[in-house]
Chain A
Amino acid sequence: MASLLTLAFKLLINDRAKFAALILGLTFSVFLMVQMISMFSGILLRASSTVLNTGASLWVMDPAVTTVANSIPMPDYVLDAVRSLDGVRYAVPFYSGGALVKLRDGTYQSVNVIGLDDTSLVGRPPLLEGRIEDLYADNAFVVVRDAEYDKLERPTVGTTFEINDHRSVVVGLAAAPVSGLFGIPTLYTTYRRAIEYIPSTRFTLSYILVEPKSVDRLPQIQAEVARLGYRALTADEFVHQITLFYMFRTGVGTNLLIMTAISFLVGLSISGQTFYTFILENLERFGAPKAIGAKARDLIEVILFQALLTSLTGYGLGVGLCAVLIALAKVRLPDYSSTITYANLLLAFVMVLVIAGISSYVGIRKVIRLEPFDIFRG
């Protein structure tokens, strides 16, 4: 079998023009597919940044909430009710809302303010500078040093500014595993300070963060929260819900899906057409091995190998090109949100296999139907 594959390899690469056309077409197609999917993955990751950065096991929310950014305030009694549930180790309030920061030059910058439970500071970020206990000081805020950090004129510990006309002091700089989606800086403070600084509706409770006594109590807690008329989602479930929202209830998912499908069709048509032409040009020569004694499966092996080789080579080059360009883009634009995940790579790989399969089917059909008698006829 190895010698037959060597023959297939030589037949392919010695036709430099066709091979180059196949590789270029597939590389371009894979690049487009991976780029589209990665962009979408980056968007989804950023959309769930608050959930991922907070690290809570269970999130209690109004049942109408679709994404973490669009919280619906709940009355305070819900917190007491959740705390009283059997199986709950603790439950703490969590605030998330928007505010305006007045910068030194007098301009304003929108920010996202996270209010952590005053007692426990559950959901606090890891600090790069400062101490988290300093959040208990007057007017204290922690600034997240992420891609949006520069928009606050790079504050350090001790920097003061106004938030919604309230004096504020930076007591720490925090790291964030995932940056936010909307391109605005994130600040942490205590829950009470957040609801004091930021105008709100009658109810102020954005979410309740819950830690169960054990993991197997989660379903029970979720059921009892549902009986209260609210919804409790694990972090994974919340991220999944956010993903579905952006995929199916905004134009983002649909448009990127269309672009990905177009990229797939581009790759398929280039590969299929070029491969078909390659087979046609060599068709009568394939007749000679058939007459000599090649079985149908020998020829199928040759064509399948050629299709797989070009597809996998194009896949590798396309993924590599995409990774390099994303890395370069992030050097220039630190908040460029594209993420190549294993799921992206697997999806692109499956699509490449489909391209290889369809391209080789087109060629195989032609070769299998070839009558060796035709080469005698000349």
Chain B
Amino acid sequence: MKWFGEGPTRTDAIRGVSLDAHFGEMLYIVGPSGSGKTTLLSILSGILRPSSGTVVVQGQEIWRLDEDALAEFRLHTLGFVFQDYHLFPRLTTAENVAIPLILRRRPWAEALHTALRFLEIVGLESRAELPPIKLSGGEQQRVAIARAIVAEPDILILDEPTASLDGETGRRIVEFIRTQILSAARCIVVVTHDARIAEFADRTITMEDGRITQVVESAARAQ
């Protein structure tokens, strides 16, 4: 559970949510604005502490960890794609992608070399020396994806990955993630309210008013 404020001003953002996610699965969390999707995502990611309850990742209760250990957990286990990408405009594309590796104290040259490899995976190796401002929305999204996977995390978290993209581009991005990034050793959690990409989910959890109202196993899982 998660609430904000106390007494008469208390707002329950998450009410009695219980869910699990598995490696090899692309899990969608959908719902209208204010349903608690982002709050849930933040709790699962070790960013927002729940008011009650636990989060267990690979057998570890993450909310028993201190701040530094939580940061380590996120750095080594999770990869993030933010809704607004949050790329540094003063760094090149390759340098932006290399940030997770730099935070892991990898040498600069090695981090850049690895970043270039992942830019190749997302088809942007020719854009490596450009700043993000010179890229299209779809290209920036792919840079953000490259940054999220460069450290080869076990869990990938995507927050509204298609919000700033047109329908076709958004669809292609998510299809790319589904086919190129998802693996038996990786779990992908997507928060979205974009119906156009629903077909790529293995399981879709619908939230409303801080509660899970529906869980649907989708056809993609069978493939």
**Which residues of A line the B interface, CB within 8 A?**
1-4, 6-7, 10-11, 14-15, 282, 284-285, 287-296, 298, 372-373, 375-378
Contacts and interface: CB of A to CB of B under 8 A. Distances in A.
Nearest to B108: A3
Interface in B89-135: 89-91, 95, 99-103, 105-108, 111
B100 A292 contact: yes
Contacts of B200: none
A292 B42 contact: no
B175 interface: no
Contacts of A285: 86-89
A7 B82 CA distance: 21
B101 to A, nearest CB: 8
Nearest to A1: B105
Contacts of B89: 285
Interface of B: 38, 41-42, 45, 47-48, 67-68, 71-76, 78, 80, 82-84, 86-91, 95, 99-103, 105-108, 111, 159
B88 A293 contact: no
A37 B155 CA distance: 59
B103 A291 contact: no
Contacts of A290: 71
B103 A4 contact: yes
B150 to A, nearest CB: 10
B74 A292 contact: yes
A344 B140 CA distance: 51
Contacts of A372: 42, 47
A293 B100 contact: yes
A293 B77 CA distance: 10
A14 B105 CA distance: 22
A294 B71 contact: yes
Given A1-B105, A293-B72, A373-B47, A282 B42 contact: no
Given A3-B102, A7-B102, A292-B75, A14 B90 contact: yes
Nearest to A296: B67
28 contacts: A1-B105, A3-B106, A4-B105, A6-B108, A7-B95, A7-B99, A7-B108, A10-B90, A10-B91, A10-B95, A11-B88, A11-B91, A15-B90, A282-B88, A291-B45, A291-B74, A292-B99, A292-B100, A293-B72, A293-B73, A293-B74, A293-B76, A293-B78, A373-B42, A376-B42, A376-B47, A376-B82, A378-B84
A374 to B, nearest CB: 10
A277 to B, nearest CB: 14
A375 B85 CA distance: 10
Nearest to B90: A14
Contacts of B45: 291
B88 A4 contact: no
A290 B46 CA distance: 11
Contacts of A375: 82, 84, 86
Contacts of A4: 102-103, 105
Contacts of A295: 67-68, 71-72
Nearest to B70: A293
Contacts of B107: 2-3
Top 6 nearest A-B pairs by Cβ distance? A293-B75, A14-B90, A288-B86, A293-B74, A3-B108, A295-B71
B102 A376 contact: no
A273 B76 CA distance: 36
Given A293-B76, A376-B42, 8 more contacts: A3-B111, A10-B90, A10-B95, A285-B88, A291-B82, A293-B78, A294-B75, A378-B83
A296 to B, nearest CB: 7
